[in-house]
Amino acid sequence: MYKASQQLIDILLSNGFKEHTSSSCPEHWDLLQEKGFYDPQSVKRDLRFRRLTIFFNYINICIRYNSAAYYKTTYKLLESEIKSLILFTKLPTSLRTFLKHHNVYPTGIIEYIEKYNDEDLAALPSRSRETIKHLKQLL
């Protein structure tokens, strides 16, 4: 389980997310620079990967994808959700589009993939079956 922390920020930054705090919350960016370290109790952060935003609203983690509204607000992320976010950053556009059309959010990719056993896969159309098999291999 991961809460708002420098460790979580570092994981996301090392996997393709970019810091946007300086433009979205300049007063918090200045505070972060002044303090020299991230304190989730007093500083907001804004990380983005394309149209995926992870906004650290102090201790709350707010996630938005392809929308102005946050689809998830929490104070902790499970390891599977972090792995899903990292997998999301590695996927080609076609696979991200497939997941979007199946209403799978970036934090739910692992859960979505793991729910399909071989029997369930056999019942799917061939294109979906092959895509899910490919996603399983990427894990």
Q: Is the pLDDT of residue 31 over 80?
A: yes
> What is the number of other CB atoms lying within 10 angstroms of the CB of residue 59?
13
- Cα–Cα distance measured from residue 73 to residue 77, given in angstroms and rounded to the nearest whole number: 10
Q: What is the pTM of this model?
A: 0.87
Q: Considering only 75-84, 99-108, 127-136, which range has the smallest mean pLDDT?
A: 127-136
pLDDT by residue (tens digit) across 81-112? 999 999 999 999 999 999 998 899 999 999 99
> At what angle are helices 93-101 and 126-138 packed, to 10 degrees?
120
72 and 107 Cβ atoms separated by less than 8 Å:
yes
Residues found in the chain: 139
The pLDDT of residue 128 is above 90: no
